[in-house]
Structure 1
Amino acid sequence: MNNQTLILIHSTDAVGLVAGISQVIANHKLNIITMREFVDEVNQQFFLRVVCTGVPSAVENLSTGLLEVLPTGAKVSINPAEQKKLVVLVTKEHHCLADILVRHFFQTLNATVEAVIGNYEVLKTFTEKFDIPYHYISHEEKTKEQFEAEMAEQIAQYEPDYIILAKFMRILSPSFVAKFENKLINIHHSFLPAFIGANPYRQAHTRGVKIIGATAHFVTNDLDEGPIIVQRTKSINHSQDVPQLVTAGKEIEKAVLSHAIHLLTEDRVMRQGNKTIVFE
């Protein structure tokens, strides 16, 4: 966005907000290209994503002008960092990490992978082929608190915008989640809220379901119940066994996680309680 301005707004709803915001933008000689808004009528919340041509002479003045026409307590973000920084957490499965690193290599991720952290060394050699640091932090012979403290210290050095759990098979404690609030993104191997927890494809096969899916969501203290960013499903039938479902599921997982990262790095996701507003 070299000659563009991105504006994100979250406030309580009120009459005339769009008109007032548009006038402030025009006063700063900016031309609106896209304006997407959403009103949560139940909770009286207003969300807006605006892209304009032009760059304001003073971002502080634009921010002040917008806050003057918005309700008290409004949040305004102008031109968030365009190139987001990611840290990826892994265990042993490679498919989601491989997809992320290939996109990083060809610069189609709209983000930089600063480091990969794993609780096994299985993916170390693969990661280093992309000249990306790999930090092995074992969870064995440690308390959960010790393990997470080491991870948190390592993550903090990179100051990431988002921490991607690319098949990181460890349940995180409330204190760890709180430390990185709104930054932890998980890919879950089922169409939530169905088949929460382990072995979802075996659960699906046993139940005889006709679709499988994957869900990318923010991590909260409720296991696999954080605000959903992206979901996708695929039709299946009785002839497919568990290994075939796993293979199909991995393809969905890669696609869903990639899409979620794309939305996040373009600042198209705004969180409201246990829901998300996604401006596609």
Structure 2
Amino acid sequence: MARKVLITDCADAQGLITEITGVCFKHQLNIIKNSEFVDNAQGRFFMRTELEGVFDDSSILADLNEILPHSSHVKLVSLSKKRIVIMVTKEAHCLGDILMKAYYAGLDVEIAAIVGNHEILKPLAVKFDIPFHFICHQDMTRLEHEKKMIEVIESYQPEYVVLAKFMRILTPEFVARYPNRIINIHHSFLPAFIGASPYRQAWERGVKIIGATAHFVSNCLDEGPIIKQDVIPVDHSFSAEDLAKNGRDVEKSVLSKALQLVLNEDVIVYGNKTVVF
């Protein structure tokens, strides 16, 4: 039997859990796991239901849309392995962590390809037998460079694009192609220290913790919906270089955890926020 996840996002109302699970029962689907959340401030209901059985998706969704409030968002998603393309520049720690975890089944993901605007990480891709596409940005406009990257990415048809320390700002045109499908790791505990040189900014401010933030990319720099964050303690003895060195460990951990949440359909985006089950 197949296993899928039912994602429900709708206006809050009485009896929603009973109504939704009743449709699941009608279609003889076994509920493996169920989680729900109500945003009382927005009057919004969210539910993630992991199901097992024989699925007639169109019939199930039609029945759900009949009983749910107007303007509801509901989808059935397979838990099969998903395909990603990773974009990189020069830093290896986040890419290496994802490659290792995927190779040893710590991440259930198919890495279709790696796209880089420098060649320095190509040997790492070769070691894991992953296609590496070097697309140099020099002597090109940003749009020309992105057009070449999009051609490569589209040839693999990934569910998600992962920015593993890809150090170029993406245009609105690029972002619009993959709404809530581009996952970025920012080397700071957002919303603090956005933009360039966050560890230098943090050192100059004398912070006592540093962190990293994985988020979906939006058209506002480093302000997309947050998926996962973490921090570690630091003190006055740390230089800016020490902060960056220790920060890299947090970055790779946060990115891989965020990716796992997304792959497992544990993240619902609404507005510029997320519900993470």
Q: TM-score range by the shorter chain?
A: over 0.9
- Please name the residue that 2:29 is paired with: 30
- 2-side partners of 1:26 and 1:227: how far apart? 34
- Please name the residue that 1:4 is paired with: 3
- 2-side partners of 1:175 and 1:31: how far apart? 42
* Equivalent in 106, 112, 115 of residue 113 of structure 2: 115
State the 1:109 CA deviation: 1.1
- Please name the residue that 2:88 is paired with: 90
- Please name the residue that 1:69 is paired with: 67
State the 1:86 CA deviation: 0.7
State the 1:22 CA deviation: 1.4
State the 1:81 CA deviation: 4.9
Q: Is 1:56–1:62's contact at 8 Å kept on the other side of the alignment?
A: no
- 1-side partners of 2:55 and 2:31: how far apart? 16
- 1-side partners of 2:55 and 2:88: how far apart? 43
Letter in 2 for 1:78: L
- Please name the residue that 1:263 is paired with: 261
State the 1:272 CA deviation: 0.4
- 1-side partners of 2:263 and 2:228: how far apart? 14
Following superposition of structure 1 onto structure 2, how do residues 37-56 of structure 1 map, counting pairs within 5 Å? 37-52=36-51, 54-56=52-54
2:204 pairs with 1:206: yes
Q: Is 1:82–1:265's contact at 8 Å kept on the other side of the alignment?
A: no
Larger displacement relative to structure 2 (40-49 or 234-243): 40-49
- 2-side partners of 1:20 and 1:190: how far apart? 42
- 2-side partners of 1:144 and 1:51: how far apart? 42
- 2-side partners of 1:45 and 1:10: how far apart? 7
- 2-side partners of 1:57 and 1:127: how far apart? 38
Q: Is 1:82–1:266's contact at 8 Å kept on the other side of the alignment?
A: no
| Structure 1 residue runs without a partner (length 5+) | none
- 2-side partners of 1:39 and 1:186: how far apart? 27
- 1-side partners of 2:197 and 2:68: how far apart? 48
- Please name the residue that 1:163 is paired with: 161
- Please name the residue that 2:233 is paired with: 235
- Please name the residue that 1:175 is paired with: 173
TM-score scaled by length of structure 1: 0.95
* Equivalent in 26, 48, 59 of residue 57 of structure 2: 59
- 2-side partners of 1:12 and 1:41: how far apart? 10
State the 1:58 CA deviation: 2.5
Kindly tell me the number of residue pairs found equivalent between the two proteins. 277
* Equivalent in 194, 197, 212 of residue 195 of structure 2: 197
- Percent identity, aligned pairs only, is 47
CA-to-aligned-CA distance 1:221-276 (integer Å, 9 cap, x gap): 11101010001011101111222211110000011001000100000001001000
Cα distance change on mapping 1:145 and 1:122 into 2, 3 Å: same
- Flag as ranges the 4+ runs of structure 1 deviating above 4 A: none
State the 1:30 CA deviation: 2.4
- Please name the residue that 2:213 is paired with: 215
| Structure 2 residue runs without a partner (length 5+) | none
- Please name the residue that 2:222 is paired with: 224
- Please name the residue that 1:18 is paired with: 17
CA-to-aligned-CA distance 1:22-70 (integer Å, 9 cap, x gap): 1111122223232111122233322110123x31353332222222211
- 2-side partners of 1:5 and 1:166: how far apart? 28
